[in-house]
Amino acid sequence: MNKIKKGLGRGLSSLIGESKKDTSSTNKISVNSLVPSKFQPRKYFDEEKLNDLSNSIKERGILQPIIVRKSENFTDKYEIIAGERRWQAAKKAEINEVPVVITDVDDLKSLEFAIVENVQRDDLNPLEEAKGYQRLIDEFSYDHEKVSKIIGKSRSYITNSLRLLSLPNDILTLVEERKITAGHAKILVGLENASFIANKIYNKKLSVRQAENFVKIFKKTKKIKNIKDPNIKDLEEGLISKIGLSVKIQNKKNNKGTILFEYKDLDQLNKIIEILKNYY
């Protein structure tokens, strides 16, 4: 049993060990006796990598057993909790039987197993990976430290991965559709104009390094634009000292613009009106 659990991967081995309902055992069963999980977090299976795995299985067999439980909907069948990709690759390789660990868990534990197993895969879409971590936090009360330990990655890695989910939906769609990479997306986190820059990255086919330089130039240009003319600044400060209210002067290149007076109550508003009446 120890050897079996060791082969399951760090996170799954830990979860199976923690499960009070677990009555795990190892068997080989027909690929036709398995049905997909209703809790599958993975939305995208890379066909090329699936073929690579299928070829590997032909040569070396399945090294990690598939975790299953008895199906509630189909007699004499087992529902895959973790390992659907291996199952699909085995069918492609025309393997008749696959090694499985049969375990007795409820729906909630089955979902937890599926998420943990998926986020440990190297080829998982970075966005799906982040969503998996978030589900562990939201639905199973994990904190970043527990996610880090169960997945076997640093806490900073988990935190940075989760930051992707703060991006606007249009950028997340670009990542899901693999039009930009997670590396690109990480550069955009926290930027006010993230969507604009994301589309520039995609349309101009910028590398991550090129995107980083573009963001630096964009920030520098914006900062220069936001620097106020010192003469205008002096005028603002002079008005503020005279009337005691906040004043902002917005002057355009053609020397047209606006003067904004900020008042906090009716007394301050009346003061502005009185000044205008007396002098104009």
Separation CA 18–CA 66 (nearest Å): 18
Strand partners, 167: none
Provide the token pair at 249.
């002067």
Choose, from 47, 72, 84, 176, the residue flagged as catalytic: 84
In this structure, the number of other CB atoms found within 10 A of the CB of residue 54 comes to 18
Looking up tokens 């534990």, which residue turns up?
109
Instruction: Clarify whether 48 is annotated catalytic.
Output: no
CA proximity to 198, closest of 179, 217, 213: 179
Helical axes 107-119 vs 10-18, angle rounded to 10°:
160
Please check whether residue 170 is in contact with residue 198, taking contact to mean a CB–CB distance below 8 angstroms: yes
Burial readout 163-183 (b: 16 or more C-beta within 10 A, e: otherwise): ebeebeeebbebbeeebbbbe
What DSSP designation does 99 have? E
What is the set of active-site residues? Answer: 84
